[in-house]
Amino acid sequence: MAPRKWQTSEEVYRLFHAIGRASLLYDIQDSHSGNMAMRWRSPEGEEMVVITATGSQKGNLEPNHLCYLSPAETDFGYYKASSETDIHVKILSLPGVQASMHAHVKELVMATLDDQPTPKRPEPFVPVDQLTFYHLGAEIPVDWFAVPSGSPEMAKVIPARLAEHPLTIIYGHGAMTRGRTLKEAFFNLCLANNAGYIIRLLERQWLALERDRGNQAGKKLSAAEVAKTRLEEMRAKIKADPESYFPYRPEPYNVEIDGRCDFPEEDEILKEFRKAGNRLFESRLSPFHTGSMSVRGVDYLLYAPQAAMPYEVGGPLLKLPLAPEVGDDFELALHKKIYAESDFQTIIHAYVPEAEAHSHFVYPGEERPIERIIPVDAEGSFLYLVIPVVGPKVKEDELIRLLHDYKMVVVRGGGVWAVGSQSLSEVLHHPSSLREICLYRIAAVERGLDLRKMEPEKARRW
């Protein structure tokens, strides 16, 4: 076969560079791991597959790290494309699929490890968070492969899995996913990794509590066995009745508004949205393109429906009527209602994983999850006496009342809502502080410390 000429596209390169950089920042790749691919039509009208070169640094891609191949020819040796090129090409041949991505999603890998003998037959991964449950499904397949990189067995199994599921897990290695765009594929991977992180935070809390109260004579189950049982019970209840565990079903990922900006002339406010969106993403306050944020205008609101957005990737920025409209989704409608019943000027809704995991914490001797998060660190205690935690079916009027009183509310199963009177920077401080507050509390539990003794007395009476 005569060698092809390499082709380059500045637009394609910028997209791959941005997603590669974001995947490194989100820590779902190491310096050289993973690969990305997408279908692309050249200016001459030729259908091609663009894929990252083997061994390339996804966080620092150069134009010559992208390989442009015919979909019918997967001679990855000549083109230096990924050794998993044939897998990607088969995924890209699925109906409606334009992009595919493999990442090491470390938190998800750790959450699915087991000590069973090989060959393994892993159970599907069941998420317990709202985003992953609805976007990726109630069960995500996990497959063990004797050769978990570029093997013929993977080339057969993975495309078949992705014909039925948006994402599939390779035991001990990572995940592969498909999307209508490369951004959607990255969105899926970030949700999956976040789901694994939440599971591990829950397990860490349960293990610590059981360890501390479990070294009793006659105890039949180890702390690990008790934690595993609790997780299985939680998963079973969610699968049986997800509507009782989650506030609402999130809207599907929207590729139609990609790149849209309704107020390009507003330099200062654009800068604020991009700074806040980048911080939501880089500080892990919400997975990629999740959550929402808005700024109130006179009779309109400026709205980011995919709030967590790294600088290089961005996200849609909309200008919408402030008045309720037919067709408003749940999230947008709640932004509008909060503004209608308050003087707040800014709102952020984020999915802080530490807050979600800790919202399920039960104090020793009690039966119900916590109804407030009380900081035990110096800065958290200075900023907040308590942070309310409400159930997934909280009434909107009650949520707004609590926002008036506390400026931030954790909705179990539904993220964190925070409000401000001035800027997005002001309101961003709330979920950012909450993440640290929850990390300190979880660490105290892991160390066997008694949170009740650490919490200020006045906070318990509040």
- DSSP letter for 317, please: B
Contact present, 108 and 137 (Cβ < 8 Å): no
Backbone dihedral region for residue 226 (phi beyond 0: left; psi -120 to 50: alpha; all else: beta): alpha
- Which H or E run includes 184? helix 182-214
Report the Cα 458 to chain-centroid distance in Å: 35
- What whole-number distance in Å separates Cα of residue 357 and Cα of residue 351? 11
- What whole-number distance in Å separates Cα of residue 77 and Cα of residue 54? 10
- Which H or E run includes 267? helix 267-282
Domain ranges of the chain: 10-194, 267-461
Determine the pLDDT at residue 219. 61
- In tens, the pLDDT along 285-308 reads 999 999 999 999 999 999 999 999
Q: What is the pLDDT along the chain (462 residues), one digit of tens a residue?
A: 333 444 568 999 999 999 999 999 999 998 888 999 999 998 888 899 999 988 888 889 999 899 888 887 655 444 465 668 889 999 999 999 999 999 999 999 999 999 999 999 999 999 999 999 999 999 999 999 998 887 889 999 999 999 999 999 999 999 999 999 999 999 999 999 999 999 999 999 999 998 877 654 456 678 888 899 999 999 999 999 999 999 999 999 999 999 999 999 999 999 999 999 999 999 999 999 999 999 999 999 999 999 999 999 999 999 999 999 999 999 999 999 999 999 999 999 999 999 999 999 999 999 999 999 999 999 999 999 999 999 999 999 999 999 999 999 999 999 999 999 999 999 999 999 999 999 999 999 999 999 999 999 888 766
- What whole-number distance in Å separates Cα of residue 136 and Cα of residue 66? 28
Query: Is the CATH number of domain 267-461 3.90.1200.10?
Result: no
- What whole-number distance in Å separates Cα of residue 361 and Cα of residue 234? 13
CATH of 10-194, one of 3.90.420.10, 3.30.360.30, 3.40.50.10090, 3.40.225.10: 3.40.225.10
- Cis amide bond preceding 119, omega within 30: yes
Instruction: Please provide residue 135's backbone torsions phi and psi, each rounded to the nearest 5 degrees.
Output: -85, -35
The pairing of strands 408-411 and 415-420 is antiparallel
CA dihedral 80→85→88→90, nearest 10 degrees, is: 140
Determine the pLDDT at residue 217. 44
pTM, two decimal places: 0.95
22: which 2 tokens? Answer: 């974001």
Q: Is 327 helix (H, G, I), strand (E, B) or coil?
A: coil
Contact present, 171 and 97 (Cβ < 8 Å): no
- In tens, the pLDDT along 24-54 reads 999 999 888 899 999 999 888 889 999 998 8
290: which 2 tokens? Answer: 């999740």
Determine the pLDDT at residue 151. 85
Report the Cα 310 to chain-centroid distance in Å: 13
Long-range CB contacts for residues 373-376, cutoff 8 Å, separation at least 24: 373/410, 373/434, 373/437, 373/438, 373/441, 374/451, 374/455, 374/456, 374/459, 374/460, 375/437, 375/440, 375/441, 375/459, 376/437, 376/440, 376/441, 376/444, 376/451, 376/454, 376/455
Determine the pLDDT at residue 78. 41
Backbone dihedral region for residue 321 (phi beyond 0: left; psi -120 to 50: alpha; all else: beta): beta
